[in-house]
Amino acid sequence: MNTDITIAALQHVPAPNNLAAALRRLETSASQAADGGCDLLVVPECSITGYNQPLETMQQIALEAKGRTTDSISEICRQHKIAIAYGFAEKDGNQYFNCVQVIDSSGDIAGKYRKTHLWGDLDRTLFSAGDALAPVFSIKGWQIGLLICYDIEFPEAARALALAGAELILVPTGLMQPWRDVAERVVPVRAYENQLYIAYCNYCEAEGDLTYEGRSGIVGPDGADLDRAGKTPTLLTATLTKDAIAKNREALPYHRDRLPHLYKTLAE
């Protein structure tokens, strides 16, 4: 039985406050990824709505987690037989969240996460913080965790997902200048120390007064790049194997050799 999974990560130029364009781009990239044999497509942080928006604009364009847009994305998933992880600004009553949602190839919601570590005034002006990490869920037999952008810079967040069984962490992001080291140094370390795969999916070019770093990457459990973007629109792809996770965990038994009783203060 083949337990591999092939994933794609779309690095694209933002098209804020243009839902029709966002859905067309998603459908096109889903078709391309599916034609290339991919099982899962990831797009950046708030890709569907735009990220760097004035507060009033963001509140007008924010989407409910279940609604007409979700139905449209579900249809794309069913049509192309591919799962999609997409970022969007979520409206829930009178609150707004920076959210990523995953719809499986059958068109059903498989997982959802609200960003917990808010980045500076930009995030705090627009969003409330999520209050918990999302449960790990399964796509094609793979255990998948979700984080968003700044979250991956906190080692505890990735480690918590690894301890919950995650084999792959999806990280839609909006990494801007001058923080290129996060993409090129921090993300590979998170994959290496947790011995799992990370798909880190960023924008490129500009949105308002932000210039994005690009440098999206799919990183293996040994910390090595499987595919890495530059600063232009790119569809990354990689095939992930469970054997690579097992091999790295056998060679470096970080999970086995942890001493949790020494780290209790981390939760205080």
pLDDT score recorded for residue 50:
97
pLDDT at 24 > cutoff 90: yes
pLDDT score recorded for residue 54:
95
Confidence of residue 266 (pLDDT cuts 50, 70, 90): confident
Name the catalytic one among 149, 167, 207, 213.
149
Name the catalytic one among 46, 99, 115, 207.
115
The one-character DSSP state at 176 is B
Break the chain into its structural domains and give their ranges.
5-267
Is 140 catalytic? The answer is no
* CATH class (in words) of the domain with range 5-267: alpha beta
Task: Look up tokens 């990735």; give the residue.
Answer: 158
Is 149 catalytic? The answer is yes
Over residues 71-98, the pLDDT tens digits come to: 999 999 999 999 999 999 999 999 999 9
Name the catalytic one among 45, 167, 207, 213.
45
What average pLDDT does the chain have? 97
Are 81 and 74 a contacting pair, CB within 8 Å? no
d(CA 231, CA 71): 32
Which residues make beta-bridge pairs with 84? 41, 103
Q: Within 10 Å of residue 244's Cβ, how many Cβ atoms?
A: 19
